[in-house]
Each structure stands twice: as C-alpha cells, then as structure tokens.
Chain A
C-alpha cells in the first residue's frame, strides 16, 4: 500500500535498509516459507545468514555486533521480514530481541561481551523464559527458584510457551531468589549444556508454526554467580522495561501481518471473477478493501507515534499498550476479511491468508494479554 503519510518517520538510511531487508525476505525466506511452516522449523543456519545480511539485530549496539540503528530500523526489519510469508520465522529470528535486553541493561560489561556477540552473530540462539505452567500474566507469581550454593545458584522449576526454547543455546530465565513477590525476582543466563536443564517438549500451536515453542524443565541446574544478571531482586523492574520493546515489535507485527493479508486480498480481488466481472468491482468487496487499508494506516499511525516517543527516550508504556491492542484488533479484522475475500480458497492451507489469520491470533495473548494491556491503559486513566 503506497502512502507518503509516514515518510516523516523514515530517512534515507531507513529506506536503504528496507531494500536490504526486502531482498533478504525475498531471497532467503519466501522460497522456503511454506516448507518451513509445514515442517515446524526453519533451518538454524538462517540466524547466521540473517546476521551476515545485517537484518538480525539492526537496532543493537555495533560494539556487540548489532547494526547500530534506531527503533525505526528495527521496525523496518520487522515489517519487511514478514513479507517472506512466515511469521514463525520472523518471531524465531526475533527471540533475541526479548532475551538480550536484560543482559544489555543490567549485565556487567564482561557478561555482555560473553553472551551477546555470539547471539548477534547468529551463532547462538537466545530465548527469554518468564512464563510458567502456573503463571503468565501474573509475573510476580513466578515459582522457579534459584537457591544460592557457594559460588553457584541451583535453579529448579518449569517454564512454558518459550519461543525458540527448543533450540536455544542460552536462556534468560526469571527465577525467584526470595519470597518477596516483586523484589524477589532475578534474571539468570542458563546455558543449554548445563546439567539439570532439559526441554520437556516442543509445543504444537495454532500459528507461528515455523517457530519452535518449548516447555522447559530445570532440575537443580547449577548456574555460576557469573551468570546472574544484575543484583538479586532486580529482575522485575528489568522485565517491565523489556516489555515496552517487545510489545512495540508485536504491534509492528500486527500491521505487517495485516498489510501482507491486504496485499494478497487486493491482488486476488482484482483477478478473481464472479458473475462476469472481477470481484473487486462489487461494492461489498471494494469497501472491505477500503476499510482494511484505513485500519492498517490507523495501526501504523499509533505504533509509529509510540515508537517515536521511545526513540526520544520518553516513557511510552501506555501508548505502546494501546498500539499493541489496536494492532492486534486490526490484524484480526484484516486477516479475517482477507480470508473472506478469498472465499473457499481462503480456508485452504495453500492460501497465504489462511496462515496469516492463524498467526494473528497470537497478538492479543503474547507479550502481555489484551486484558493486561487494558489494565495498564486504565491505570493511566486513574481508574
């Protein structure tokens, strides 16, 4: 959808980087998207390929192997990689975006030097492990424990729904170091080969098929103090900071998904014929497309404006919560209507909009549910 409406957010460097991301999606993802989605995984080598092309971590510091870009370079990558046609691949590649911030923000320089470069180079996979079988929205309910034992901690518990968890080499794990609900939480880096750590199972999902999602078990995993990120009790606050960027990228995924579905539906409507004319000539279909285009722009407007606040270093928790909820609703509606425009073909696994509609269902759940976003927004309203 061509529009100059949002030009003010993007300069020449974003445009040039968009070309790089688009080329990567077209050459490295699109030809394999269906195969990877059906197989439930994309090849591990893609992380390194993406890093080499510079699309894996555009807005991470250059000093650790990132692209040195800003929030909008990250947005460009999120939008363009989605065009490869596999949301699962995009979010799988993106798990470092939620796993590394605690290390960047709270870690010592030695920890950053040790953990970040291999991940940003695509040689290692990183995942964030917060959610547990017994608690998700209520982060203060985390029960996985880390008990000090000399120069180590012993971590025991379970985590679930962990993106990239099946293959992760390092996991940023939130564990309880004391009973205080909020002040008792601390991040640790658990490495794959540490005895006591295991992947209990790979989970099957509604969408995001190419992304592996794991349930994990920790049975007295011995983790050296050197792997504790920040002082004891610093985990909850760090997590809250983490959420803003995660939710922004989910909001971006919402309008990116919707735009892909819209493009497919527009092209289909222009060539599918019924009653002697292309279906795009029926007002019912034309107006649907008009509404879809309007919704997508409304979602972009809110998301870009929130991102600009983040870029300027201003607080944006409430704005990002609104952007995420709105994007999730737009993605839901636009994908639903795109399926409708495709008719029976829209319900078939071989049509791209069928996949997008399934993928969109994650958005009001992951990274904090729709209800939790509304709680944040309502709190901002003083109610």
Chain B
C-alpha cells in the first residue's frame, strides 16, 4: 500500500510563544521545533498501517529548508520510508489553500492511496488543509478519527463527536484520514533508526517542480498580540467545608459562572 502522511513542523507544545515586534506573526527563532502533536498521531498511524498491510510511507512537509532535520527525526526515524519537503519561498508563504494545493500535487505525484493528517497544526490551528487536500484530490475525508482500520480497499474509521458520541464511518480508498488525540500512542524513535534516518531519501522541491505557479496566501494576517496576562490566583483559606461554601459563593456572585 502506498501511504502518505502530512507532517508540519511547529513549535513544541511547551514552547513559550513570542510575538514578532511588528506584530506580523509568531517569532519561532530559538524555539524548539518538532512535528506537531496531532501530526505525530498521523505519522504513527501511517507507520502502523504500513506494518499491518505492507507498503511504504511517504511524509509530505511544506516548510523551511531547515525543517529537514526535524522531518528526519520526527518521521523518517520512526519508520517513514521517504520524505518530500516542499520548501521554496512560494511554499513558505503559501496560505492554507496554497499549502493544500502543494500537498495534493505532491501526493498525487507520489501515487498515494491513503493520506493521514493531524486534526490541526499545533501552531496556527487552522484545521483547513486536510479537507482542502481531499477536495483537491476528489477523495473522501474523515475528520477527528480516534480509531482506524483497513480491510482490502475499504476502511472503517471512528470519529469522536461532541459529548462522547462516536460515529463510525466506512468507505473505500482513497481517503484522507484526519487524526485526533487518542488514536494511538506515538512510539519513541530508536537510536539505530535515528541514525539510519540520516540516509533515507528526502527530496527538497519547490512549487515550480509541482507545476504550481500561484500558491500565495489568499488572506493576510496581522496585528498578532499576546493574550492578556492572567489575573493573580486567589487562595481561599479555612477548613474544607467553609472554603467550599466560599468558593461556591464566589463562583456564583463574583465570577457569575454558576
């Protein structure tokens, strides 16, 4: 089976986000970068699918050329076989639709039958690209998947909906599967695999190589600002019973949340 996975390099979930001084975006300089949290589930599920059904996994990343190191450690070292890093200036400045166009074109060229993506990127959290890829390819898409299986050319995916309701979706390949927290427990890369990952094929291409001329963002972002600082915590003194009473009073009368 020819399996694809889209993996975006984003700041680590523990990173302290800084805003660029001109408010034009987030400053990732000096931040620890990794394959995003939800994309980690996608990488893991792609590898598990390969292990269960044979075949090969290709990772697709739109990002900076310096993301190579992180694609190697965060995808190739885990068992992904090869990677495509789309990293020219056009790609770096592509918005969600442009990114989806680039990924869809690369996925098509690679001949994938199934593609895993994360539910959202850890940085901007737009959740747009997966659906757009499916649309551009004319494939089905299942979002927020927490359980997944393939049999022959059909798949069954469980979706987590609100209030704990589960929806089971089945269909046939090709499909874009968008992975949710809880789908799997991503493995640790093994040291021998980390070292072998240095020699796995990774092709760096640009928008032109995919025959795409215009992938520029269709909207622009500005005026980034940090969230307002949290007000200081209040500690309620006293024994448990009276503290609980006071807490309920504060929640009702001051915070007005109950």
Q: Is the Cβ of A12 less than 8 Å from the Cβ of B190?
A: no
Among A3-20, those with CB < 8 Å from B are: 12-13, 15-17, 19-20
Q: A92 within 8 Å of B by Cβ?
A: no
Q: With a CB–CB cut-off of 8 A, which chain B residues contact A53?
A: 188
Q: Is the Cβ of B190 less than 8 Å from the Cβ of A15?
A: no
Min distance, Cβ A49 to any Cβ of chain B, angstroms: 10
Q: Which of A12, A52, A54, A58 contacts B72 (CB 8 A)?
A: A12
Q: Is the Cβ of A67 less than 8 Å from the Cβ of B188?
A: no
Residue of A nearest to B193 (CB): A54
Q: Is the Cβ of A23 less than 8 Å from the Cβ of B73?
A: no
Q: Which of B34, B191, B192, B198 contacts A12 (CB 8 A)?
A: B198
Q: B112 within 8 Å of A by Cβ?
A: no
Rounded to whole angstroms, the CA-CA distance of A24 and B187 in the bound complex is 11
Residue of A nearest to B30 (CB): A2
Q: Interface digits, B174-191 against A, CB 8 Å rule (1 contact, 0 not)? A: 000000000000001111
The verdict on A54 contacting B188 (CB below 8 Å), with A13-B194, A13-B195, A13-B198 known, is yes
Min distance, Cβ A11 to any Cβ of chain B, angstroms: 9
Q: A159 within 8 Å of B by Cβ?
A: no
Min distance, Cβ A122 to any Cβ of chain B, angstroms: 14
Consensus secondary structure, chain B interface: helix
Q: Is the Cβ of B191 less than 8 Å from the Cβ of A54?
A: yes
Rounded to whole angstroms, the CA-CA distance of A62 and B73 in the bound complex is 19
Q: Is the Cβ of A23 less than 8 Å from the Cβ of B188?
A: yes
On chain B, the number of residues with a Cβ less than 8 Å from chain A's Cβ atoms is: 14
Q: B145 within 8 Å of A by Cβ?
A: no
Q: Is the Cβ of A69 less than 8 Å from the Cβ of B195?
A: yes
Rounded to whole angstroms, the CA-CA distance of A117 and B109 in the bound complex is 43
Q: B77 within 8 Å of A by Cβ?
A: yes
Min distance, Cβ B150 to any Cβ of chain A, angstroms: 26
Q: With a CB–CB cut-off of 8 A, which chain B residues contact A62?
A: 192
Residue of B nearest to A67 (CB): B191
Q: B69 within 8 Å of A by Cβ?
A: yes
Q: Is the Cβ of B191 less than 8 Å from the Cβ of A73?
A: yes
Q: Interface digits, A19-61 against B, CB 8 Å rule (1 contact, 0 not)? A: 1100110000000000000000000000000001110001000
Rounded to whole angstroms, the CA-CA distance of A62 and B195 in the bound complex is 12
Q: Is the Cβ of A16 less than 8 Å from the Cβ of B77?
A: yes
Residue of A nearest to B191 (CB): A67
Min distance, Cβ A72 to any Cβ of chain B, angstroms: 11
Q: Is the Cβ of A54 less than 8 Å from the Cβ of B190?
A: yes
Among A116-151, those with CB < 8 Å from B are: none
Q: With a CB–CB cut-off of 8 A, which chain B residues contact A12?
A: 69, 72-73, 198
Q: Which of A19, A24, A67, A73 contacts B73 (CB 8 A)?
A: A19
Q: Is the Cβ of B190 less than 8 Å from the Cβ of A67?
A: yes
Q: Output the residue of B34, B69, B72, B188 with the most chain A CB within 10 A.
A: B188
Min distance, Cβ A128 to any Cβ of chain B, angstroms: 24
Rounded to whole angstroms, the CA-CA distance of A290 and B73 in the bound complex is 34
Q: With a CB–CB cut-off of 8 A, which chain A residues contact B189?
A: 16-17, 20, 54
Q: Is the Cβ of B198 less than 8 Å from the Cβ of A58?
A: no
Q: A68 within 8 Å of B by Cβ?
A: yes
Q: With a CB–CB cut-off of 8 A, which chain A residues contact B73?
A: 12, 15-16, 19
Rounded to whole angstroms, the CA-CA distance of A73 and B197 in the bound complex is 16
Q: Is the Cβ of A24 less than 8 Å from the Cβ of B190?
A: no
Q: With a CB–CB cut-off of 8 A, which chain B residues contact A54?
A: 188-191
Q: With a CB–CB cut-off of 8 A, which chain B residues contact A23?
A: 188
The verdict on A67 contacting B69 (CB below 8 Å), with A12-B198, A13-B198, A16-B77 known, is no
Q: With a CB–CB cut-off of 8 A, which chain A residues contact B69?
A: 12, 15
Among B52-87, those with CB < 8 Å from A are: 69, 72-73, 77
Q: With a CB–CB cut-off of 8 A, which chain A residues contact B195?
A: 13, 68-69
> A-B pairs with the 5 shortest C-beta distances?
A67-B191, A16-B73, A54-B190, A53-B188, A68-B192
Q: List 7 A-B contacts (CB under 8 A).
A: A12-B198, A13-B195, A16-B77, A20-B191, A54-B191, A67-B191, A69-B192
Residues of A within 8 A of B (CB): 12-13, 15-17, 19-20, 23-24, 52-54, 58, 62, 67-69, 73
Q: A12-B72, A15-B69 are in contact. List 20 more A-B contacts (CB 8 A).
A: A12-B69, A12-B73, A12-B198, A15-B73, A16-B73, A16-B77, A16-B189, A16-B197, A17-B189, A17-B194, A19-B34, A23-B188, A24-B188, A52-B188, A54-B189, A54-B191, A62-B192, A67-B190, A67-B191, A69-B192
